[in-house]
Amino acid sequence: MTVSKDKGSAPTGLARLINAWRFSWQGLSAAYQQEAAFRQEVWVLLLAVPLAFLLSEVGLERALLIGSVLLVMVVELLNTALEAVVDRIGHERHELSGRAKDMGSAAVLLAIANALLIWGLLLF
Given 76, 83, 92, 95, the catalytic residue: 76
* 61 has catalytic annotation: no
According to DSSP, residue 75 is labeled H
CB 68 within 8 A of CB 114: yes
Question: Number of C-alpha atoms within 13 angstroms, CB side, residue 25?
Answer: 6
Give the span between the Cα atoms of 5 and 8, in whole angstroms: 9
- 3-state class (DSSP) for residue 1: coil
User: Which of 110, 112, 104 shows the shortest CA–CA distance to 79?
Assistant: 104
Q: Which residues are catalytic?
A: 76
